[in-house]
């Protein structure tokens, strides 16, 4: 039996890859997206969207647009969101409006249009710092770097006694530590959807995405993923700007794997009601990624600029424990980092990173508001 899947925010790079995978299993796809200029520039329908995907241009905060988009739909993947930790700290009402209010509008529309499955995209940002172990090897429940820590260039997490902690893979059982407006709004999205699902018996799954990358990622958006930002800089002959000392660790996961996890969540029988990590299960330092990407792009001569500066709201280390994803979804990442970066480099060939200097403008904006140091 075929299904009709609505993907909110589906014109973004994750949504486009998910649309392809959904269509490949002979289901139908409808996309609701407002084609925000920060992500899509001034263009119309993105040329990377599958031709068979129906695009409805509209805002997730518009009840009429959402209700129209739901006609004939029996499954929903909710990706629509403003994305950017730093920007969220001063565009507070915009992030809260799109992410929290937009989700509420969608859920109210679903009251009158029940669906078989709802999947919502959350974020690893809800964890704050990833799971840390103390000197005895026991988990330290609440670890936060203070502004004083950052100003003294004390980058690594430490306990109350000042002892450095060990970062390990983060499971879903780690309590949230919401260190940015963006993180708070993503937590709102997942909790609203799970609460709605439990109340109205709509099978609902929340997926916490780690650092997704791959083809179609916006190169001109200074608040998007670090790989896209680095790529935009390198393509314009500029050094990637690395905050702190560059030794912070992240989990970089191919967009193909992220889309596949979404597809699995649309039908996995034991997943409803769960919050599930989606990552690669491996970690890399930002320095290593910058050098690796420069080499693949043939820009070896461009050395990353390690600024020694910090941004409030950034965390030090976070990478995924995928045990639950494998158990509930049958999910195992299929794309290695080398494979993913090689594919990204191939796609980037011939791409134009428009307005790459927006990265510097965005950093200046954060600095002007006292959010960097």
Predicted confidence (pLDDT) per residue in 220-230, tens digit? 666 667 887 78
Predicted confidence (pLDDT) per residue in 56-109, tens digit? 999 999 999 999 999 999 999 999 999 888 888 899 999 999 999 999 999 999
Q: What is the DSSP string of 188-210?
A: HHHHHHHHHHHHHT--EEEEEE-
- CB proximity list for 253: less than 8 A, separation 6 or greater: 209, 210, 211, 212, 213, 278, 279, 280, 320, 333
Give 309's pLDDT tier (boundaries 50, 70, 90): very high
Q: Model's pTM, two decimal places?
A: 0.94
Residues 182 and 276: their CA atoms lie apart, in Å, by 19
Active site residue 182: yes
Of 103-117, 176-190, 304-318, which gets the smallest average pLDDT?
A: 304-318
DSSP single-letter state for residue 276: E
- Determine which one of 90, 95, 127, 182 is catalytic: 182
User: Which run of H or of E encompasses 11?
Assistant: none
Residue 322: C-alpha distances to residues 122, 171, 261 (Å): 15, 7, 11
The Cβ of residue 303 has, within 10 Å, a number of other Cβ atoms equal to 12
Residues 122 and 224: their CA atoms lie apart, in Å, by 15
Q: What is the DSSP string of 27-60?
A: -EEEEEE---HHHHTT-SS-TTS-TTSEEEE--T
Domains in the chain, start-ordered, CATH in brackets? 4-368 (3.40.50.720)
């Amino acid at each position: 039996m075929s299904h009709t899947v609505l993907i909110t925010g589906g014109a973004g790079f994750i949504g486009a890859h998910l649309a392809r995978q959904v269509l490949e299993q002979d289901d139908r796809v409808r996309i609701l997206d407002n084609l925000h200029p920060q992500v899509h520039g001034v263009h119309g329908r993105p040329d990377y969207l599958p031709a068979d995907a129906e695009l409805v241009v509209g805002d997730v905060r518009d009840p009429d647009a959402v209700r129209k988009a739901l006609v004939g739909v029996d499954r929903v993947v909710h990706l629509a969101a403003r994305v950017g930790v730093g920007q969220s700290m001063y565009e507070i009402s915009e992030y809260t409006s799109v992410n929290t209010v937009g989700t509420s509008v969608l859920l109210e529309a679903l009251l009158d249009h029940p669906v078989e499955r709802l999947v919502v995209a959350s974020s690893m940002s809800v964890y704050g710092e990833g799971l840390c172990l103390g000197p005895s090897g026991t988990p330290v429940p609440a670890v936060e770097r203070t502004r004083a820590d950052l100003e003294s260039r004390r980058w690594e997490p430490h306990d109350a006694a000042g002892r450095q902690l060990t970062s390990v893979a983060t499971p879903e059982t780690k309590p949230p530590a919401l260190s940015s407006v963006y993180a708070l709004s993503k937590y709102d999205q997942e909790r609203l959807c799970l609460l709605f699902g439990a109340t109205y018996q709509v099978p609902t799954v929340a997926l916490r995405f780690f650092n997704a990358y791959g083809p179609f990622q916006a190169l001109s958006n200074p608040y998007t993923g670090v790989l896209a930002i680095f790529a935009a800089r390198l393509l314009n002959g500029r050094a990637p700007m690395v905050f702190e000392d560059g030794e912070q660790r992240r989990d970089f996961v191919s967009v193909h794997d992220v889309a596949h996890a979404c597809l699995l969540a649309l039908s996995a029988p034991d997943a409803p009601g769960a919050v599930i990590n989606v990552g690669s299960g491996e970690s890399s330092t930002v320095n290593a990624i910058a050098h690796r990407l420069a080499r693949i792009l043939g820009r070896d001569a461009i050395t990353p600029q390690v600024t020694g500066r910090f941004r409030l709201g950034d965390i030090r280390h976070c990478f995924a424990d995928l045990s639950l994803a494998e158990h509930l979804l049958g999910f195992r990442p299929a794309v290695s980092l080398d494979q993913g970066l090689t594919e990204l480099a191939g796609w980037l060939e011939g791409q134009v990173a428009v307005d790459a200097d927006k990265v510097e403008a965005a950093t200046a904006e954060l600095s002007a508001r006292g959010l960097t140091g």
